[in-house]
Amino acid sequence: MSLPFSPSDPLYQLAIVLVAGIVGGELFSAIRLPRVTGWIVTGILLRATSGWHGEATGLSALSTEAFRPYMSFVLGYIAFTVGAALHFASLKNSGIRLGMLLLCEALITPTLVVATMMTLGAYLAPQQISLPTSVLLGAIAIAGAPGTTVLVIEEARAKGILTRTLLAAIPLIDMVAVGIFVFAAYFFAESGMSGGAWLNAGPVATASVAREFGLAFSVAAVGAVIALGLNRTVVSPAYLGPTMVALILGAWGAAKGLGASGILACSFAGILVSNLRHDTVRSTEAYLHSIGALLFAAFYTLAGMNLDVAMVRRVAGLVALYFLARFLGKYLAAFLAMSIAQAPVQIRNYLGLALVPHGGVAVGLILAVQANPRLADIAPTVTSVGLAALVINQLLGPSGLRLALKNAGEAGNGAPRLLDFLDENHITIGLVGGSKEEIIRTLTAQLYAMPDRPKVSQEVFVNKVFERESLASTCLAEGFMIPHAILDGGQAITGVLGLSSQGIDLDAPDGRPVHAVLLLATPQADRQRHLEVLAAFARAITRDAGLREQLYHARNAAHAYVVLHAEDSHDINYFLEDAITRA
């Protein structure tokens, strides 16, 4: 049945897409699958059925170009948010993990993809597979899916070392993917796909990568300085969120206008704002959180509509090889990197599965191949194999990520817990010192290097801790010490934990060496939680010898975090809502 008007208006079409996506997401959520998978499946079904009902819905006339600004904004917002997770002061204990992961991702994933496509792929389709095709597909395989990852983590209410590693690694992995892709694309384009000219193409390709990243960083830096400057001088706090939205729009638009990557520019903008003024990022996220579901539901439904499942049938063999090679490369790279970094076993075993989702950056790189006339000979194969495999990764990846979060014991940990303030970056291993004063000053310096440091001056805080210690020793039995101070300002409890496997002689009442020192800074408003923390640690340390030994002899901060936040540590780190319910 036809309508008495032509429903070709993009806003009308967007309404149809949004409603269909919301319904599809809720149906998938009802069967315990990620909503993002439901949105993508709904988009694929809308594309498949638009030919039947196009006259009534207007979707047969759906134009990708009509929604490109909307898609670009959501991609920019995703890139900005994920880039903001790279707050360097908060990642001091994650450096080895992230560095090894980036190195292994850059080497193992593309190498495995290229080797598979050049051997088995060339055997299946010798006319379609070449070295340039395989290398570009290998670069695209590195890219992750920041939007999908963030959505699944939020939906699973996940929190922990695996979650933190994912959020910090995804923007860096995408930057590695873009860098390798730009180098390879310019390399093969400049050489004219001819092996004889490859030696001369290297310098041009290297210069192109430097230009891409340089332009994106410059645009982000100028935009961030202007936005933060306006916030300090003209813009009231109520309009901080809209100002950051303008930064995202401006960074994307300016980068694209200069021929650089909008995703890179928005990622750099997020990194800069987060490290120059960290509280601004939280305000931006809070501002857009209320409409986040709307943004993502329409975005991923539209993404599903732009992926043609029919192409899977045409290159099914190559798609299967590419998907399996990428999956194996992701898993092996993550497993090897986490093994070298001595990450907890849960992270080592499940990080690779969590990295499977493939998203917007990959689509952008594929479109870049299509847009380059000098890559026209290989564009059809790269497009068909890359997009078809992306369909599979987007359908299976979110469920794999959710399974990884669950098996790592991090799903459902997003609710407030007693020791939320004691994350990995607030834990230090190898604590040394010859006296209480020296240790307290060492830990205080670490505490004041954190974004959530107390509002009072460092010297005032130290004097308050010494004053409390002079009244009575805060050394508990079994090698634990909790020096602390109650402060007039501040809103939430914070602190740092120092661990010494060898133990330090601090004249504890029971004569034992001290292995763990928890320095607490507590505002008057949070005294109740302060008492709960003291009581919980006192019970756990004196009664649970297993937990005590694991904590005292943790190999690194990540292992100590796992000990304190694991499911079997509920007595020491319980959910606050459970405590309220019991009370």
Residue 260 parent element (H or E): none
Of 251, 253, 281, which is closest to residue 86 (Cα–Cα)?
281
pLDDT surpasses 50 at 54? no
Best CA proximity match to 155, nearest among 37, 24, 316 = 37
pLDDT at residue 92, rounded to an integer: 72
pLDDT at position 11, please? 81
Looking at residue 312, what is its pLDDT?
64
Residue 264 reports pLDDT greater than 60? yes
| Separation of alpha carbons 571 and 583, rounded Å | 15
Mean pLDDT of 22-42: 85
Using one digit for the tens of pLDDT, what is the confidence trace for 92-128? 777 888 899 999 999 999 999 999 999 999 888 888 8
Q: 3-state DSSP helix/strand/coil percent for the chain, to nearest 5?
A: 70, 5, 25
- Tell me the two tokens of residue 215: 């332009």
pLDDT at 147 over 80: no
User: Domains in the chain, please, with CATH?
Assistant: 69-407 (1.20.1530.20), 424-582 (3.40.930.10)
Lowest mean pLDDT among 76-85, 136-145, 248-257: 76-85
Q: Which of 37-46, 95-104, 107-116, 253-262 has the lowest mean pLDDT?
A: 37-46
Compute the C-alpha angle 107/111/114, nearest 5°: 155
The mean pLDDT of 256-271, rounded to a whole number, is: 87
Tell me how far CA of residue 222 lies from CA of 217, 225, 251, 268, 489, in angstroms. 9, 5, 9, 11, 35
Q: pLDDT-derived band of residue 578, with 50, 70 and 90 as boundaries?
A: low
Query: pLDDT at position 52, please?
Result: 43
Taking CA atoms, 92 is separated from 88, 448, 558, in Å, by 7, 14, 11
pLDDT of residue 60: 54
Query: Is 558:347 a contact under the CB 8 Å cutoff?
Result: yes
- The answer, yes or no, to whether residue 40 has pLDDT greater than 90, is no
Question: Does residue 579 have a pLDDT over 60?
Answer: no
pLDDT tens per residue across span 536-561: 887 777 777 888 888 889 888 888 88
Mean pLDDT of 301-311: 72
Highest mean pLDDT (candidates 68-77, 101-110, 407-416) = 101-110
Q: Tell me the pLDDT band of 583, cut-offs 50, 70 and 90.
A: very low
More confident call, 169 vs 579: 169
**In the chain, what percentage of residues exceed pLDDT 90?**
23
Split at pLDDT 50, 70, 90, the class of 75 is confident
Cα distance between residue 538 and residue 464, in whole Å? 22
Sort 256 into a burial class: Cβ within 10 Å, 0-12 / 13-18 / 19+.
Answer: middle
Residue 199 has a pLDDT of: 53
Per-residue pLDDT band for 580 (boundaries 50, 70, 90) equals very low
With 0-12 CB in 10 A as exposed, 13-18 as middle and 19+ as buried, what is 32?
exposed
Instruction: Say which residue, 337 or 306, is predicted with more confidence.
Output: 337
If pLDDT is split at 50, 70 and 90, which confidence band does 16 have? confident
pLDDT exceeds cutoff 70 at 219:
yes
pLDDT above 60 for 576? no
pLDDT at residue number 2 = 53
Q: Predicted confidence band at 582 (pLDDT cuts at 50, 70, 90)?
A: very low
| Span 429-440, average pLDDT | 89
Instruction: Give DSSP secondary structure letters for 270-330.
Output: HHHHHHH-HHHHHHHHHHHHTTHHHHHHHHHHHHHHT--THHHHHTHHHHHHHHHHHHHHH
Which span out of 311-315, 490-494, 509-513 was modeled with the highest average pLDDT? 509-513
494 pairs with which residues across the strands?
521
What's the confidence (pLDDT) of residue 61?
A: 47
What is the rounded average pLDDT of the residues 213-237? 90
* Residue 496 clears pLDDT 80, i.e. is over it: yes
pLDDT of residue 120: 93
pLDDT band, very low/low/confident/very high, at 244 (cuts 50, 70, 90): confident
As a whole number, the mean pLDDT across the chain is 82
C-beta atoms surrounding 132 within 10 Å: 23
Residue 131's closest CA among 123, 140, 122? 122
In DSSP terms, 519 is beta-bridged to 496
Residue 203: pLDDT band (50, 70, 90) is confident
Judge contact between 7 and 57, C-beta under 8 A.
yes
Three-state DSSP class for residue 20: helix
Q: What is the mean pLDDT of residues 142-165?
A: 86
270 in Cβ contact with 81 (< 8 Å):
yes
Q: Which residues contact 496 (CB under 8 A, 6 or more apart)?
A: 426, 427, 428, 443, 446, 447, 450, 518, 519
CB contact set of 460 (below 8 Å; sequence gap of 6+): none
Give the integer Cα–Cα distance in Å for 43 and 150: 20
Give the tokens for residue 238.
């109520």
Q: Give mean pLDDT, residues 73-82.
A: 81
